[in-house]
Structures are given as structure tokens and as C-alpha cells.
Amino acid sequence: MAIRLAVLLSGSGTTLQNIIDHIERGALDATVACVIASRRDAYGLERARKHGIPAVALPRKDFPDDAAFNDAIWAEVRRHKADLVVLAGFMLLLHVPDDFRNRIMNIHPALIPAFCGKGMYGHHVHEAVLEHGVKVTGATVHFVDEEYDHGPIILQEAVPVLPDDTPDTLAERVQAKERELYPRAIHLFAEDRLRVEGRIVRVAP
């Protein structure tokens, strides 16, 4: 039986589209149960509606505090009976309720624990990678905890940094790796093959 995903985003929804594409071509046994955006102008909402997926905007400024904001998000996730929450460019720190511990995934465009944390997203990451002169970067899928880019690592693969790379060219290759890794991690979750032991995630055969 296909697992139900709640996708949380703040922007254009390219990661959402990648997940939808994998589902539609039969490469991922899942269904996107709902999409929640932190911005009303997030194009990811339009992508969801084009595919008949329930979508709602819940801007942080509409709520008196973080607790009320998080309550609204989790009410929506539970209303749609999601099995797994997938962060797809969601730019706000999320509270992790006990019943969703190790049921929230995020993807980061670097090899955590390098080049991660608050403020390190998108081109900020690739610019920092190039400024530091590192020779290898990559992509990481991890479970979410109460800190930015900090939870147990599920999958991680390297991408070489080339001598003539710019933030744009590096981003293109890292994003290609992200498009591979995220559906693979979701697939492993759907098959109940992920075992979390402290900070270690083991993949069962």
C-alpha cells in the first residue's frame, strides 16, 4: 500500500515536482496526500493544484507564535493521515512531535555536518563551498530533529567540486544528485527498511 506524504515547502516546488514525477512513472510507491506552504506566493502550491493535490498556505505571520503555527501545520498533516513528512525547501524550523519523530525528512545540498545550519541553504551553501576551496561536496537526506540540518543521516553521496565551478554550475550537479537521493530515501522508508539507532540510520536488506 502506497505511503502518504505531506510535503512542506516555501518556494517553487521543484523537489515536490521531482517526487510527483517519480510517483507518476511508477518509480515510487507513494501518494502526495497534501502540500503545505509557508508562503502564499509559493509556486509549489500551483504545482500541487495542477496534480489535484490538496494544498494550503500557512504563513507564519498569520499566527501569534511558533506554537500556534506548528499546531496548524501538524493538524493539517494529521488531517490528511500522512505517514511521512517531506521537507522540500521549507525554510522554517519545525517542532517535531513525538508521533512524528523519525517520520520527517529533509534534504540538504552539502555533506552534513559541513556547510549546514541556520542560514545555509541554496546558493549560500554552494558559495561557501567554493570560498572554502573544498574538493568534494554533495547531498544529504536526513531525519529532522529540533535543530537545522542536524538529525540522523539517511543517505549521503558526494559530488566533486571542479576547478572552474561557479555557484550555478555546482548547484546544477548537486541538484541532480538530490533528485536521485530523495526518492530513494522515501522508498526505503516506504519499505520499512530504515532503522534508527541513536544518530546512526541503518538500511535493512
The three cell numbers of residue 31 are: 501518494
**Residue from 108, 126, 142, 150 carrying the catalytic annotation:** 108
**135 and 149 Cβ atoms separated by less than 8 Å:** no
Q: Tell me which amino acid residue 150 is.
A: H
The CB density around residue 202, as the number of other CB atoms within 10 Å, is 9
The three cell numbers of residue 106 are: 529533509
Cα separation values, 81 from 39, 57, 77, 133, 203, Å: 23, 18, 6, 45, 25
Active site residue 124: no
Beta bridge partners, 35, equal 7, 55
Q: Tell me which amino acid residue 117 is.
A: G
The three cell numbers of residue 134 are: 573544498
Instruction: Write out the catalytic residue numbers.
Output: 108
